[in-house]
Amino acid sequence: MGLGLAWLLIGATLLVLEPAMLTWPHSHPHVVALTHAWVLGFFVTVACGAVYQLAPVALGTTLRNERYGWWHLGLQAAGVPLMVYSFWVWDMTLLGHAGFAVALGILLFSVNTWRTVRQSGRGGTVAWALNLAAGWLLLTVLLGLLLAANRHWYFVPLDPIALLRAHAHVGLIGFFVTLLQGVGFQLVPMFTLGEVRDWRLPNTGMWLTQIGLVVLTPALAWGLGWLGLLGALLITAGMACSAVALRRALASRKKRHFDPGTRAFLWGGAVVVLSGLAGAVLVAPGLPGGSVPGGYSALVYAVLAVGGGLLPCIAGMMCKIVPFLTWMRAYGPRVGRGPTPAASALASAGLERWGLGLQFAAIAPLLIGTWTLHETWLQVGAWLLATGVVLFAADMLGVLRHLRLAASPPSATKASPKS
């Protein structure tokens, strides 16, 4: 979570320094570097950290191999900065070495996740989502290595842009959407005191998304428009089923008020579903949209899906998980020995509200600027986003400062017994 937070600040800084990148072709080296700083640096790092914590809780077991997790963290911390730099300067040799380190870390993550699920002996939507998401993430990094190698030897006779699109969707939908379709049904009911009473609709949603991605990936790689449209519509239908199922679970909640983190998570999920329809427009034959900047382009779709959808989902999730993890580490051993704060009291509701709100508000000017190629809109959006990120980071750092208590011995003072 801490490493992901650092990458969030780096990604926002890169966009502030050069907002015009969103008017360039999405295959430009700097655009590819910016994308990997956000997606691989922030989103993947935080999501993997969440899996390490949530998978054992959801499955009622322990993490199968903690040492694999530490190795993964080290490889991720070393490999991703080198990948972003190699994209920026377009050094394919360095990219191959850095990508191999990241791929090895993701392999350890995937094996660890699969073995944890198998150790639990559990099935169902959450277990399947964890297994599938880990598999799609591993496939994503392997496809990335294939793309880098193909830049040297050109042994795959397909359009590199088409392969890049397939690679991106395997990661965004295969890992992130699948993970949200599973873990979301663990997180949201847990933090709103609700329950999933019927798992048929969540199961349907997840499997429709899996089938759609299997159809969409080769359609993108080979430029098969109608098949791509079918895959995109199946994915959108799957996400819509999950959204309806989550709404039903929320109807049973005992905690009626939504805190800023939960609200951001839900708004982000709604935009993810909307992004499915936006993506269908891009792949449909005869409809506007494509690779050329300006108008409705691939970068407009990317800003909507990544900035408007994934960012509030992941940031909202962090607002719930980071205080919980920090409280367990810092104050859990002190329960019964003295007064302890509630986990929700570790964060600042004001910083969360403004941080998440400004991040979400930044998407409108970023979309307008990307669509119209107007740099002023992009500058406004970039600064709004950066301000929101700084406030959000300040909130998270305020929570994490409580970890210093974990290093000090618990108070020897016993809580006085109640009469």
pLDDT digits (tens, 9 = 90+) for 58-74: 899 999 999 999 999 99
What is the CATH architecture of 2-333+342-403?
Answer: Up-down Bundle (1.20)
The Cα 293–Cα 373 span in angstroms is 8
For residue 174, which of 252, 231, 245 has the smallest C-alpha distance?
231
User: For a pLDDT cut of 70, what percent of the chain falls above it?
Assistant: 95
pLDDT digits (tens, 9 = 90+) for 180-206: 999 999 888 988 989 999 999 999 999
Given this model, what pLDDT does residue 285 score?
86
pLDDT at 418 over 70: no
Average pLDDT, the chain: 92
pLDDT digits (tens, 9 = 90+) for 93-107: 999 999 999 999 999
Q: Report the pLDDT averaged over residues 323-342.
A: 87
Sequence-distant contacts of 287-293: CB under 8 A, at least 24 apart: 291/25, 291/26, 291/27, 291/161, 292/25, 293/23, 293/24, 293/25, 293/370, 293/373
Q: Report the pLDDT averaged over residues 311-332.
A: 92
The answer to whether 233 touches 277, Cβ cutoff 8 Å, is: no
Q: Report the pLDDT averaged over residues 410-419.
A: 42
Given this model, what pLDDT does residue 43 score?
98
Q: Band of the pLDDT at 288, cuts 50, 70, 90? A: low
Q: Considering only residues 254 and 419, tell me which one the structure prediction assigns the higher pLDDT.
A: 254
Q: How many CB atoms lie within 10 A of CB 407?
A: 8
The Cα 89–Cα 81 span in angstroms is 12
Q: Report the pLDDT averaged over residues 138-165.
A: 91
Q: Report the pLDDT averaged over residues 221-246.
A: 95
pLDDT at 25 over 60: yes
H-state helical runs in 193-334: 200-222, 225-251, 260-283, 298-302, 311-330
Given this model, what pLDDT does residue 408 score?
63
Q: Band of the pLDDT at 256, cuts 50, 70, 90? A: confident
Residue ranges covered by each domain of the chain: 2-333+342-403
